Chain A
């Protein structure tokens, strides 16, 4: 099945620990995104990437890091600098052409909680 796979579904972080969320897509999309979802705040963009080995900060990049070594993969690391990491994290992908860059395909998310 074509789509986006996020893992793990649930993740717990201890204070001072870095954790990495996985995102893999087999849609052959060039662009990938990470969003953070908090109750009542909608979806906020953390990072996005348009091409391998390149990525751009979104609106709330502080305390997060990403890499794009392969077209299919876009992992997100939540660092210890992120003081309020508890949230639902969503990975998405899209094309880059006219119209194809407008439709985002989302994974099923990772719920991150702090122990």
Chain B
């Protein structure tokens, strides 16, 4: 049962362009939506995250757009750079305290930014 669906599987963008990666979730109990960035041969690292009480969050060139009614969220990378070439994972979880993480990951998007 795939609770978080991610698309596209791969993406090629020219330097300076906008990269857009989309995710859709099913479980309405989810209330935390992070994006992780993974470079080849490395573990993923948290890039940016959003909660459903806001529709957008921006950190530098990275923006999450969130649509609660559609149960969708997306990552936008503005002015994409070759150094952004990596695999991006969306994820979702519900808040709990005193417990381990409940993150469910999407299948990943391999982004290549060309010169």
Contact = CB atoms under 8 A, between A and B. Distances in A.
A92 B100 contact: no
A8 B8 CA distance: 32
A106 interface: yes
A16 interface: no
Interface residues of B, number: 26
B112 to A, nearest CB: 15
Interface of B: 6, 9, 32, 34, 36, 41-46, 49, 89, 93, 95-101, 103, 105-108
A107 interface: yes
A108 B39 CA distance: 10
Contacts of A94: 100-101
A109 B39 CA distance: 11
B34 A40 contact: no
B107 A42 contact: yes
B93 A109 contact: no
A96 B98 contact: yes
